[in-house]
Amino acid sequence: MKHKLKLHKVPKIESIQEMVFNSAEVYKEKLAMEDLQEYPIKKVTYSELKENIIKFGKALKNLNLPERTHISLIAENRVQWSISYLTLMSFNYVIVPIDKNLTESEILNIVHESDSEAIIFSENFSNVFAENKSLLKRIKYFINMDKESESDDFLSMKKLIDKQEIGDTTILPKINPNDLAEIIFTSGSLGRAKGVMLSQKNLATNLMDMVSMLMMYPTDRFLSVLPIHHTYECTCGMLCPIYSGSSIHYARSLKTVAEDMQKVKATIVLGVPLLFDKMFKKVMKAINDDKKKSFLVPKLIKLTNVTQKLGIKDLKKKIFKELQEKFGGAIRIFIVGGAAADPIVAEGLQGFGFAFLQGYGLTETSPILTVNQIDNFKNDAAGLPLPSVELKIVNPDENGIGEIYAKGDNVMLGYYKNEEQTKETFDESWFKTGDLGYIDKDGFLHIAGRKKNVIISKSGKNVFPEEIEDQLNHSPYIQESLVYGEKNDKHDEIIAAQIVVDAEAFLLLSQEKDIKINDDLVHDTISQEIDRVNKNLTSYKKIVRFYIREHEFEKTTTQKIKRYLVS
């Protein structure tokens, strides 16, 4: 089903190398990126970015690292991570970005499995590599971002760059956009890492498509919050701004996001649902704790919703200026990805004058497949397909829900050294996403859940656990939940849920009612919340058993629960 997209004209590019040097030529002395904390290379203009890339690339060539060499990269979000990434792209190396939150054994395994011959890393990982140097026999060079001097074990990134004389773009190698450019290791269904192979063409196609649907400008200031090794933050939060001539500002931490937004007057922030959920809860708590605001704000939202429909778009920002200022006063768009956004949170933030948009994609698709547009969106949908993307729904049920298949130049080359899994993931030229959903009459994609998570009820009907979890998580007493199928005494599949309670909500309940918090209070309160949710569910979807967990669920980089670890 095709929908008429509202598209902006954007520069055509074939590779990331072409993109970064085009931007360096156009935007020259404009700020490209900066760190909000101290690092050896803290801030660069577009001209300085170009200079650093050329010098670092020359240094790597002088180390006799030939083109196509696999090089691992692991660090916090920072300018030097982006310089390293863009250098490796520009000099025709194969990048292996590694999640900084992995365990030591997982990091070493990826370095080994990826056939890397060099590693660029921050000081936080120097002990890991120093202690395991003998195990990494293939590694020829260890390059430390933070050391100002070299040692027998480690080279200094800063010194490698400083030792080089400035060169020009004539030393850049010719890029074949279809060649392997990046291997991103992502968790498999059983926790086994899969190496997703992406080309520069995959990434360039996705960049052009995204910006044509959601225009970004040289005046935009991105606050980088999410882990940069992940393709969502890397493509959308780093490559997109560079392509558009915007500036990137690397946040100090998740705890300082609000302060950092104020400091840089951020215009665009990418996040996962959990980040925006917490943000919205804090805002609503502050409003509800103030009797005057709790009375006035809902009325003002209704009023400005009406004026907005009449074409008066700036009134919300003026009326809710105080709230806007808490986030820097310049936010143009909040973009959510990694998982489905809560429509209540979306509508809530929009009610205060923030543009709040969600998209959908996977690492295997570079990553974006669909996105909502500022003047063309649905809060309960994952968006419209990008111009180069084709989608189809396979084996739909009576409600039109089936597996989402995708096709386009942004779809990966395959899984590294895993032909069998690559074959299983493709149906001829169609990529099988493993997600279930449907496309509505307006062409918007709606996600129902992961195919592997579906519970088959006794009546043979499909139950999507994500749907039930969304309802559970609306409870003020539930911090997070996981719904799954469990066998009862008759070996029938029933719906069960594991619940992590919101400690702060129970503390408030205790203070308000002057009662002690104990196991019975927690159990009875959650039981009532389960009953409330069950009233809104058809009989085969009702939760039959629930368990209260002491600890939060272990999560992925994009804050999805690692379901395979939960029994």
Average pLDDT (285-307) is 92
Residue 4 binned pLDDT confidence (cut-offs 50, 70, 90): low
Question: So what's the pLDDT on residue 3?
Answer: 56
* Average per-residue pLDDT for the chain: 93
pLDDT over 60 (residue 242): yes
CA 476 – CA 474 distance, rounded (Å): 6
Question: So what's the pLDDT on residue 556?
Answer: 83
Question: So what's the pLDDT on residue 192?
Answer: 63
Average pLDDT (417-425) is 95
Question: So what's the pLDDT on residue 1?
Answer: 46
Average pLDDT (57-73) is 98
Residue 187 binned pLDDT confidence (cut-offs 50, 70, 90): low
Question: So what's the pLDDT on residue 490?
Answer: 75
pTM of the predicted structure, to 2 decimals: 0.90
Question: So what's the pLDDT on residue 503?
Answer: 92
CA 251 – CA 112 distance, rounded (Å): 31
Residues 6+ apart with CB under 8 A from 462: 397, 401, 454, 455, 456
- Of 194-203, 445-454, 457-466, give the lowest mean pLDDT range: 457-466
pLDDT over 90 (residue 254): no
Average pLDDT (12-38) is 98
Question: So what's the pLDDT on residue 153?
Answer: 84
Residues 6+ apart with CB under 8 A from 512: none
Residues 6+ apart with CB under 8 A from 467: 448, 449, 541
The CATH number given to 454-565 is: 3.30.300.30
CA 264 – CA 257 distance, rounded (Å): 11
- Of 46-55, 243-252, 338-347, give the lowest mean pLDDT range: 338-347
Question: So what's the pLDDT on residue 189?
Answer: 42
Residue 382 binned pLDDT confidence (cut-offs 50, 70, 90): very high
Q: Please choose, from the candidates 15, 396, 448, 322, the residue with its C-alpha nearest in 3D space to the C-alpha of residue 198.
A: 15
Burial class (CB in 10 A: 0-12, 13-18, 19+), 118: buried
Average pLDDT (271-286) is 91
Residue 489 binned pLDDT confidence (cut-offs 50, 70, 90): confident
Question: So what's the pLDDT on residue 560?
Answer: 84
Question: Within 10 Å of residue 147's Cβ, how many Cβ atoms?
Answer: 18
CA atoms within 13 A on the CB side of 16: 33
Q: What percent of the chain shows pLDDT beyond 90?
A: 82
> Tokens 């890029």 sit at which residue?
175
DSSP class of 437: E
Question: Within 10 Å of residue 188's Cβ, how many Cβ atoms?
Answer: 13
pLDDT over 70 (residue 191): no
pLDDT over 70 (residue 21): yes
Secondary structure E strands in 159-237: 180-187, 193-199, 221-224
Question: So what's the pLDDT on residue 396?
Answer: 95
Q: Is the preceding omega at residue 387 within 30 degrees of 0, hence cis?
A: no
Tokens (6 digits) for 112? 């080994």
- Tens digits of per-residue pLDDT, 38-63? 999 999 999 999 999 999 999 999 99
Average pLDDT (515-535) is 94
Q: What percent of the chain shows pLDDT beyond 70?
A: 98
Q: Please choose, from the candidates 161, 159, 185, 199, the residue with its C-alpha nearest in 3D space to the C-alpha of residue 17.
A: 199
Top mean pLDDT of 100-104, 454-458, 560-564 is at: 100-104
The structural domains of the chain, with segments of one domain joined by +, span 454-565
> Tokens 């490698």 sit at which residue?
160
Question: So what's the pLDDT on residue 168?
Answer: 86
Question: So what's the pLDDT on residue 473?
Answer: 92
Question: So what's the pLDDT on residue 359?
Answer: 96
CB contact at 8 A, 248 and 33: yes
Question: So what's the pLDDT on residue 48?
Answer: 98
- Tens digits of per-residue pLDDT, 123-139? 999 999 999 999 999 99
Q: Please choose, from the candidates 32, 7, 17, 454, the residue with its C-alpha nearest in 3D space to the C-alpha of residue 238.
A: 32
